[in-house]
Structure 1
């Protein structure tokens, strides 16, 4: 997904440091990715813009040796899904109505108004009300969407399934030295930049959360770390890591209010 200009800038930097005009100053670089998946994201760009910024269009691409991975390690327990993904990537799957690909019946929940959302949740998290304190249960499933508005809707439904009392946390909604009140509170509260949580977050004891910043990587608190809330204070969250080498370690995450 990375823009080729980022790689070329790094290559130029290594060339200057090593005083060597070979790509990356003669150092061996390892890249990982699949062009059949997500190309570089170009804001308001066309497909051509995405292809032009791909690493395969870099000046050093002729020096790259391609190693092909043959087995999908994430789908070893689901051969049907694994083969389906490979057919899609190789452009061998049949299409309908133009460029649309029909999903497998085992992957589909028919749309029947908002009831289908609850059916999806029950399918991914069965008997959730009685297993909210089971960390392994929380790790086994996840619901992924393409839009933040859908994430917020599903989160609101899920948080209601937790029996504990809810705790609401809000972000800072004022601007320093804004004496003329140029930035309205309603406007500030509506902002949700990429990589940041919404203005208002509702949590309950037992609900899973995810860090969006590198707080203390050496302690396992980094971007993407998944935790479960064990206690909710006014200006802190007592949470336990539920994945990785620091699993079951508890930390106090302080909030700035």
Structure 2
């Protein structure tokens, strides 16, 4: 992550903020109680809980998003960090819904190849509802909604020699039938 000076910042404020962020990331900020920490966030950077809090955050980080989709570094220079994967899903869904154009929905596989031994147990333990509800790092969601101009990030190495590696950010340019 890169921090840059805003209009009203000074270099010492930026250094203090960067050190505070690093302490949070290293687990050194806050009071540790039973393996958990309580971190006090300054009120001037806290987004208050409201009906429009997520919209306000997206508008702040990605101002005038529809007009800036064609700018090459627009998404590269911005990011929303989220504490849980459920929050990431909410942000992604909200941002995708705000993009113009037709969406395409891709669903994951939701069945298990059961072995002969404990087939009934496996079918009960891995029902489609359970498989569709899995939300963990490194896996796309069960329902992936995409639109043209949407930014996407690769989760696996597809073709390293051509730069299609885990973490590569791309933008969907157009739908092509393969």
**Residue 142 (structure 1) shift:** 1.0
Aligned residues: 156
SS of the residue 1:159 aligns to: helix
Q: What is aligned with 1:109?
A: 47
1:83 aligns with 2:16: yes
**Residue 221 (structure 1) shift:** 0.8
Distance of aligned partners of 1:218 and 1:170 in 2 relative to their CA distance in 1, 3 Å threshold: same
- Give the counterpart of 2:146 among 203, 206, 209: 203
CA RMSD of aligned residues (A): 2.9
In 1, the alpha carbon distance for the partners of 2:55 and 2:175 equals: 27
Higher RCO (Cα < 8 Å, 6 or more apart): 2
SS of the residue 1:139 aligns to: coil
Distance of aligned partners of 1:193 and 1:205 in 2 relative to their CA distance in 1, 3 Å threshold: same
1:157 aligns with 2:94: yes
Is the CA contact 1:75–1:82 (under 8 Å) kept in the aligned structure 2?
no
In 1, the alpha carbon distance for the partners of 2:147 and 2:164 equals: 20
**Residue 74 (structure 1) shift:** 3.4
In 2, the alpha carbon distance for the partners of 1:227 and 1:137 equals: 12
In 2, the alpha carbon distance for the partners of 1:155 and 1:127 equals: 17
Distance of aligned partners of 1:94 and 1:169 in 2 relative to their CA distance in 1, 3 Å threshold: closer
- The TM-score, its normalising length taken from structure 2, stands at 0.74
In 1, the alpha carbon distance for the partners of 2:94 and 2:144 equals: 13
Is the CA contact 1:211–1:225 (under 8 Å) kept in the aligned structure 2?
yes
1:1-257 aligned at under 5 Å gives the runs 74-75=2-3, 77=5, 79=11, 80-86=13-19, 89=23, 100-103=39-42, 105=44, 107-111=45-49, 113-177=50-114, 181-182=123-124, 183-233=126-176
**Residue 99 (structure 1) shift:** 5.2
- The TM-score, its normalising length taken from structure 1, stands at 0.53
Query: If you compute each CA radius of gyration, which structure gives the higher value, 1 or 2?
Result: 1
Unpaired runs of 5+ residues, structure 1, are 1-72, 237-257
Q: What is aligned with 2:34?
A: none
In 2, the alpha carbon distance for the partners of 1:187 and 1:164 equals: 31
Unpaired runs of 5+ residues, structure 2, are 24-28, 32-36
In 1, the alpha carbon distance for the partners of 2:114 and 2:17 equals: 57
**For residues 155-204 of structure 1, what are the alpha-carbon distances to aligned partners after superposition, in whole Å with 9 as ceiling and x for unaligned?**
11101111010010111111124775443211211122331111110000
